[in-house]
Chains A and B, each alone.
Chain A
Amino acid sequence: MLLVLLVIASPVSAMRFQERSLYMNSSEPGATTFYKVSFRYMSAQPVGSVDLLFCNDPIPYHPCVKPTGLDVSNAVLSEQTGEANFSVLSKTDNHIVLSRLPSMVTNNSSSYTFDNIVNPTDTSQAFSIRLRSHASTNATGVQIDFGSVRGQVTTGITIETQVPPMLIFCVAEEVSENCTGTNDNYYKDMGQLTSDSTLVTKSQMAVGTNASGGFAITANGFPMSAGTSVIDSPTVPTESKPGQNQFGINLVANSAPAIGNDPEGTWANAVPAEDYSIPNHYKYVPGDVIAYSPNVSLMKKFTVSYIVNAREDLKAGVYNTTINYIASGRF
């Protein structure tokens, strides 16, 4: 029953301020600047105080964690528009209470400018100001309207300053798992194409990143060709079929034909893309993502297996291709 009463008495019954916004004159971490907080009062009731609580989390009923580095203890209310006649009743590092003689709200859209606010220093996360209006003059009692505004500090150079994010990537016929050694061979001869056998070869790549967004590797380049004659690639994972024109790759161990290895490395986040991780099934679509990690991933080594099949009437020539593996971060 107590829980039910608490839920009923929670902010759900109040209205949300509308057209809420925060303008920070400087978004440099740690800078002393002015903030302009704007919102529209929604309830036609007498208001005697406005409570501004600065927290990482915007949700009013969650515990408030003060944004690192923020200091509003020297804030000065330098300008107010709309609902006016407020003065600062109290202030701490992350809390300001504005007070006035309770009077009916007549100017819905209002703004309050505070000088001498020291910006937070943590560029990796946004912060919020939780707003509440009260009939009392000291921000106690039942709240009338509520809502949050969001802000974030950014440096002129880069947001991610704590640990420089990096993406490590290497490709060769053979590579070590940490990319510090490769056999420096970047091409493979596959031999003589015939209609009754499958030509196979393999290459390796290793990748790792400490960026929170992870990585993606795409395979780019045309399928094998000789002049205008192209060996088609399956656009869906397909078994190797000698006697048909087919150029495909995958990133797992296969038995038909026997080629390739499963990914090596303990980091579970980094995986081959679904279409390229089916044993004995091959595919090649230029631009496809062939391996990815959705978040931080230490080094992982992938072995790419290549198969080529040819029909009897395939035009004679030297068939070749260059596959450009592109590793990128994710957004």
Chain B
Amino acid sequence: MSARSTVRALPTLVRVGFAEAIAYRAEMLVWVLSTTMPLIMLALWSAVAADAPVGRFDQRDFLAYFLATFIVRQLTGAWVAWQMSFEVRTGTLAMRLLRPLHPMVSYAVENLAALPLRLVVALPVAMLALLLLGTARLPRSPALWGVWAVAVLGGWLITFLANALIGCLALWTGSSIKVMDVWLVAFMVFSGYLVPVELFPGVLRTLVAWLPFRYQIGFPVEVMTSAYDLPAALGMLARQWAFVLAFLGLAAIVWRRGLRRFAAYGG
């Protein structure tokens, strides 16, 4: 599996992944509906902020924050853990191993190919946000938009690699859905998905800074709502990519060791 053949296979993989996303569009709709939690939290926090602002957040700040959260979540979705768990259990992972292409690459491209459909959902929300809030909260400098783009990519990479890592555990245990459930709970609470990280009380905030979750959603959202100036944003970006590299290393090790145990039952 040379780099060149991988690159040559990419367009086809993207086409297949996109066709798959179209074929399972009802599933996609269900998934999108299940990511509407930021909108529910928005309603909640607006009620809380009705009398007095919470921290520096008034009602409109919450509106900006949670609409941005919804958009970033659409852009950083990955579901490899479920895919791998299923394919290990049914033995169909063997099919992927036979192809002259690293399975992780094919998973990644499949997940990314669903992006255009997700943009269809995210764009109207972005329009709505612009309409309701204007551009006052968006970052002014193009450099910050550059940081935002890299941050979204980093957020997606952490999500994807964590998924892959947990998916690999299925090679030992047969199913890793339960581990994924625990991960998801921690993700929802500590990523800024339900509560802006800024609002956490002291100790928790320090803890959150050392966990990967914040860099999946919270950080890109904060950049998008102008919570940082450029130096601060770059500092956070460096931390985010440190997590990306750590997860990449870990996933690679676990994948290699786990694969030796794979027996393709039933496949």
Judge: A and B partners, yes or no: no
Interface residues of A (CB under 8 A from B): none
